[in-house]
Chain A
């Protein structure tokens, strides 16, 4: 096993030891042991930076199920390394933060770190796998780990609700994605992403190409909380804050982004892909930022903000896919800007959003509430936290000199370029992109200001808080400090990233744009002249400030929005009505009445067999092989028919029993006529015994409800019985005429004496030729006898016995 695979699996291995560490080393917070691993992994992954920035990649394969083409191939290129560094880097900070956030006495740390490590390993697996099936396995593991982490405080109703919701939505998407992967496999015959990319030219016209694209996008959109699947993310905020910071801002929700970026080389260049990715992204961006403004809970604001930022990245990836049409040179570098912005903003978002979640966690931890209506005036009490919040929110709002400003400028460049595309009917609808993007940015500005100023400035309301707020311990501050310094560093020196990470990542997302020996050249400028983008940013700040200051005057518009059209309403009612409809259907056909079930069974038989006979035109009647009918047979048949018809019309049960007896004895007579003495003997005795048993049952009928009444007539029953009789008769008649082979009985007649030394062929077949059946029939009889015996002797369920106990 190569080191790379071991690195991916190491979190799972460590997770095995966590419960023991928790149990036997109580005095040390378990998180300290866990912290080592992401740090080691981070350093390990950093080593790959020089290799990857040269445009090379590393690949190791372990065979897993080679017969199905499923191999555990670990693959490191620019995109995978970028995500790997995010996962391990922010993972270390989150583990450090959680050591101070979660109390070692009160919380079940063993399960927390097991789930967190499971998540980390799964996430590394997702981003570093080249095999689609392995990717899918890790993908579902992230869903599972996220489910467990959201419901970490499982005694709370809302945690369980949020966990269930995220599970249902992400697993639904994951399953769709699985189907998409299988379609890709059907088209290309391989699960390896590398190999699929080499076949792009042949599959893009395949009829399964669009279904595969839609299914995979469904998986990516549900995981990355794109409209309208974003509803699980705000409810996932019931998780502990380190979890929200890690999973629901920096890593898991970016798995969908990763998937879109990773599969871009396959799908980019198609109009459907462009419009779906960019369209859903821009709608999500707008809707997320619009909804964030009305939230009153700090984490909800951040949740909707995450949704909106994910939409932004998704939109940029979609717009960037247009670059595939143009190739790369000095002039067309414009079109790759969108991809550059996506990658850059991905990094920036992970830094500032992680920091903001940690800040919110500190506020929650130190004041006991996250409700902005209760908070205020914390600036002087928590100066460090306030500084961090300022850096994070200003970066989120896109203000200079932070990194958010740069990526927002690039974003504007991207949408402006896209609106001038003359591809994919962008001429007609293209102007929507810059407009929506600009409006969304205004809202982003407003909620960013709400987040920081409503919490830290204004009137201090100590009477509404459960605790007396004070600055957080230093351990809790270090992780957000690191993230915030990264915000500033990347803001001031953005080109630190461009050579090492952004260029290789871009090369992985749109490799076909590059010719041989070409490389992306990225240089991010702070000052790029008096461009449209700059005016747009100034407009955002100006309008955003006005709107923020007048927030109380216009926030009433959120009440106009009808509750019934809210997506959560659809989800909740969808679930409830699904259950209700399922209940109704089940109750409708599962009546508990055996009569109804028999009706279904017989109706099915009539429809399938009768319908089959009819549609295949299989009814034939060939009288050439039939024997002449003798007088005895006619008489016996008549008696039998009369007795059989008498059964349903009998006035009392005893008549019915005796009529059944007559049918049985006539059958024995038929055996005599058709020269089957063994059968006749057996039939006579068995019929006698069963009539006696029927009479016994009759004698023991309870007295109270004794009804000696004829069978009531029911039309359904009549139709069904008539149909079954008719169908079986037709089948029998058709079967007679269609004997395809000579029967085996000739052999038995010949071999009976010579081979088995017996002249009674029936008996020889029973005990010799087919003795195995007879043995098992003996077993059946034995089981029946023991069944009767135990039913009668062991009546444990008698009511008096139960009551006495």
Chain B
């Protein structure tokens, strides 16, 4: 008998996006409020896991054709490149800088290179969490 997950799946559709939004909020809030790349990444991972629980792995592979191992690599690459980038400006490895800019729609906004680094952390954490959970989940021995 096939179980009917209609309630779970319906709730997931709404809730997972709320969690995703929250995780993105955590990520961007990190510089001034509690949050940051690590916890944001874990939250995104939680949203994705919820989706994987509600639907099965095959469906999710179609919807999200992402190889999370590559995502880990991308995250690490971004982290290292932000460090290497500081060499372009003749400053030591991983020197960060920030400034205030007037952007359309957003007004006066603070932009910091540290956020790029945090993005690397974010992608790494999502990639690692999902790789571990999916590898164990797919294993059927």
Binding site for B on A (CB under 8 A): 677-678, 681-682, 685-686, 689, 693, 696, 756-760, 762-764, 766-768, 771-772, 774-775, 778-779, 781-782, 784-786, 788-789, 792-793
Contact = CB atoms under 8 A, between A and B. Distances in A.
Interface in B105-141: 110, 112, 114, 117-118, 120-121, 124-125, 127-129, 131-132, 135-136, 139
B83 A760 contact: no
Chain B contact residues (Cβ within 8 angstroms of A): what range? 35 or more
12 contacts: A681-B35, A696-B136, A757-B31, A757-B99, A758-B114, A764-B31, A771-B114, A772-B83, A772-B94, A775-B83, A775-B117, A789-B132
The 3 closest A-B pairs by CB, nearest first: A757-B98, A677-B34, A758-B31
Contacts of A689: 42, 129
Contacts of B35: 678, 681, 760, 763
B124 A778 contact: yes
B96 A767 contact: yes
A788 B30 contact: no
Contact of A778 (B32, B96, B121): B121
Contacts of A766: 36, 38
Contacts of A781: 72, 124-125, 128
Nearest to A774: B121
Given A760-B35, A778-B79, A767 B124 contact: no
Contacts, number: 129
Contact of B32 (A760, A771, A792): A760
Interface string B53-85: 000000000000000010011011001100100
A775 B82 CA distance: 10
A784 B124 CA distance: 12
Given A767-B121, A788-B132, A788-B136, A678 B46 contact: no
Interface of B: 26, 29-39, 42-43, 46, 69, 72-73, 75-76, 79-80, 83, 93-94, 96, 98-99, 110, 112, 114, 117-118, 120-121, 124-125, 127-129, 131-132, 135-136, 139
A784 B43 CA distance: 19
A764 B115 CA distance: 10
A442 B125 CA distance: 91
A788 B42 contact: no
Contact of B34 (A681, A771, A786): A681
A696 B141 CA distance: 13
Given A758-B112, A788-B135, A792-B139, A678 B73 contact: no
Nearest to A759: B32
A759 B69 CA distance: 33
B36 A678 contact: yes
Given A678-B39, A756-B96, A756-B114, A782 B73 contact: yes
Given A767-B96, A771-B94, 16 more contacts: A689-B129, A696-B136, A758-B98, A760-B35, A762-B34, A764-B31, A768-B114, A771-B96, A772-B94, A778-B76, A778-B120, A782-B75, A785-B69, A785-B127, A792-B135, A792-B139
A681 B39 contact: yes
Given A759-B31, A759-B33, A767 B136 contact: no
A481 B43 CA distance: 97
B42 A779 contact: no
Contacts of A758: 31-32, 98, 112, 114
A767 B114 contact: yes
B75 A778 contact: yes
Q: Which of A756, A781, A784 counts the most chain B CB atoms within 10 A? A: A781
Contacts of B136: 693, 696, 788, 792
A760 B76 contact: no
B132 A685 contact: no
A793 B139 CA distance: 8
Nearest to B42: A685
B94 to A, nearest CB: 5
A785 B76 CA distance: 13
Q: Which of A682, A756, A764, A771 counts the most chain B CB atoms within 10 A? A: A771
Nearest to A686: B42
A789 B129 contact: no
Given A760-B30, A772-B93, A772-B94, A685 B39 contact: yes
Nearest to B46: A685
A763 B42 CA distance: 15
